[in-house]
Structure 1
Amino acid sequence: MTSTPESSIDRLVLDAVDVALRARPESARVAIALSGGVDSSVLLDAAVRVAGAARCVALHVHHGLSRHADAWLVHCEALAQASGVEFDARRVAVSRAAGHSVEASARDARYRALDEMCAAHGVSTLWLAQHADDQAETVLLQLLRGAGLAGLAAMAPVHLPRGSSESAAAVRVRPLLHLLRAQLERYASERGLHWIDDESNADTRYARNALRHEVTPALAVHFPGFRDALMRTAAHAAAAQRLLEELARIDMEAMSRDADEALVLDDLLSLDDERALNLLRYWMRTLGLLAASSARLNDALRQLREVGASGEGHRLRVDHDGRALRCYRGLVYWEAGDSSEAADETALIDRPVSELVWQGEAVWHLPQWRGTFMFVAATEGDAAAVVPASVLRRATLSARARSGGERMRPGAALATPLVSPLISPSESRSASPSVSRNRTLKNLFQERGIPAWKRDVPLLYVGAELLYVPGLGVNRTALPDRTDPSEPLVGIDWRDDLVLA
Structure 2
Amino acid sequence: MTSPAEPDAGRIVVDALGVALSALPADARIAIAYSGGLDSSVLLDAAVRVAGASRCVALHVHHGLSPNADAWLAHCGATARALGVAFDFRRVDVARDGAAGVEAAARDARYRALDAMCAAHGAQSLWLAQHADDQAETVLLQLLRGAGLAGLAAMAPMRSMAGGVPRVRPLLGLLRVQLEQYAAARGLNWVDDESNADVRYARNALRHDVMPALAAHFPGFRDALARTAAHAASAQQLLDELAQIDLLDASRDDGRALSHDALVALDDARALNLLRYWMRGLGLPAASAARLADALRQLRDVREVGGDHGLRVDHAGRRLRSYRGLVFWGDQDDDASVPDASREPAELAWQGQEVWRVPQWRGTFVFAPSDADDPDAAPEAVLTSAPLVARARTGGERMRDPAAGLGRTLKNLFQERGVPAWERDVPLLFVGDTLLFVPRIGVNRAALELGKDDAATAATTRWRRIEWREDLLIA
Is 1:42 matched with 2:37?
Answer: no
Aligned partners of 1:256, 1:140: CA distance in 2, in Å? 35
Aligned partners of 1:318, 1:102: CA distance in 2, in Å? 25
Write the deviation string for residues 401-453 of structure 1: whole angstroms up to 9, x where unpaired. Answer: xxxxxxxxxxxxxxxxxxxxxxxxxxxxxxxxxxxxxxxxxxxxxxxxxxxxx
1:130 corresponds in structure 2 to 130
1:282 corresponds in structure 2 to 277
2:268 corresponds in structure 1 to 273
Task: In structure 1, give the amino acid aligned to 2:8.
Answer: S
Asked whether the 8 Å contact 1:3–1:190 carries over to 2, the reply is no
Aligned partners of 1:258, 1:39: CA distance in 2, in Å? 45
2:242 is matched with which residue: 230, 247, 252?
A: 247
Write the deviation string for residues 1-31 of structure 1: whole angstroms up to 9, x where unpaired. Answer: x975543111100000000011110000100
Q: CA deviation at 1:265?
A: 1.1
Q: CA deviation at 1:254?
A: 2.6
2:182 is matched with which residue: 177, 180, 187?
A: 187
1:215 is matched with which residue: 210, 218, 223?
A: 210
1:300 is matched with which residue: 292, 295, 301?
A: 295
Aligned partners of 1:255, 1:197: CA distance in 2, in Å? 50
Alignment of 1:1-400 (within 5 A): 6-97=6-97, 99-162=99-162, 167=163, 169-255=164-250, 257-340=252-335
Distance 1:170 1:337, change over 3 A: farther
Unaligned runs of 5+ in 1: 343-501
Aligned partners of 1:160, 1:300: CA distance in 2, in Å? 29
Which aligned runs of 4 or more in structure 1 are off by greater than 3 angstroms? 2-6
How many residue pairs align between the two structures? 336
Q: CA deviation at 1:317?
A: 3.7
Q: CA deviation at 1:178?
A: 0.4
Task: In structure 1, give the amino acid aligned to 2:46.
Answer: A
Q: CA deviation at 1:313?
A: 1.8
Asked whether the 8 Å contact 1:3–1:191 carries over to 2, the reply is no
For the residue of structure 2 that corresponds to 1:324, the secondary structure is strand
Distance 1:225 1:314, change over 3 A: same
Unaligned runs of 5+ in 2: 338-475
Asked whether the 8 Å contact 2:63–2:91 carries over to 1, the reply is yes
For the residue of structure 2 that corresponds to 1:334, the secondary structure is strand
Asked whether the 8 Å contact 1:5–1:11 carries over to 2, the reply is no
For the residue of structure 1 that corresponds to 2:309, the secondary structure is helix
Alignment of 1:458-477 (within 5 A): none
Write the deviation string for residues 174-201 of structure 1: whole angstroms up to 9, x where unpaired. Answer: 0000000000000000111111111111
Asked whether the 8 Å contact 1:318–1:325 carries over to 2, the reply is yes
Distance 1:190 1:3, change over 3 A: farther
Q: CA deviation at 1:304?
A: 0.6
1:480 corresponds in structure 2 to none
Aligned partners of 1:5, 1:31: CA distance in 2, in Å? 30
For the residue of structure 2 that corresponds to 1:315, the secondary structure is coil
Aligned partners of 1:256, 1:149: CA distance in 2, in Å? 24
Q: CA deviation at 1:103?
A: 1.1
Asked whether the 8 Å contact 2:7–2:185 carries over to 1, the reply is no
Distance 1:334 1:128, change over 3 A: same
Task: In structure 1, give the amino acid aligned to 2:181.
Answer: R
For the residue of structure 2 that corresponds to 1:120, the secondary structure is helix
Q: Which moved more, 1:224-233 or 1:322-331?
A: 322-331
Asked whether the 8 Å contact 2:43–2:129 carries over to 1, the reply is yes
Structure with larger Rg: 2
Aligned partners of 1:46, 1:225: CA distance in 2, in Å? 27
Aligned partners of 1:73, 1:155: CA distance in 2, in Å? 26
Aligned partners of 2:98, 2:120: CA distance in 1, in Å? 33
Q: CA deviation at 1:255?
A: 2.9
For the residue of structure 1 that corresponds to 2:207, the secondary structure is helix
TM-score by length of 2: 0.69
For the residue of structure 1 that corresponds to 2:58, the secondary structure is strand
Aligned partners of 1:340, 1:318: CA distance in 2, in Å? 15
Q: CA deviation at 1:97?
A: 2.4
Aligned partners of 1:255, 1:120: CA distance in 2, in Å? 38
Distance 1:34 1:294, change over 3 A: same
Aligned partners of 2:250, 2:103: CA distance in 1, in Å? 39
Aligned alpha-carbon RMSD (Å): 1.6
Aligned partners of 1:88, 1:104: CA distance in 2, in Å? 23
Task: In structure 1, give the amino acid aligned to 2:325.
Answer: G
Q: CA deviation at 1:339?
A: 2.7
For the residue of structure 2 that corresponds to 1:290, the secondary structure is coil
Aligned partners of 1:245, 1:175: CA distance in 2, in Å? 25
Asked whether the 8 Å contact 1:149–1:240 carries over to 2, the reply is yes
Query: Using CA pairs below 8 Å that are at least 6 residues apart, which structure has the higher relative contact order?
Result: 1
Aligned partners of 2:6, 2:152: CA distance in 1, in Å? 37
For the residue of structure 2 that corresponds to 1:32, the secondary structure is strand
Aligned partners of 2:208, 2:202: CA distance in 1, in Å? 10
1:404 corresponds in structure 2 to none
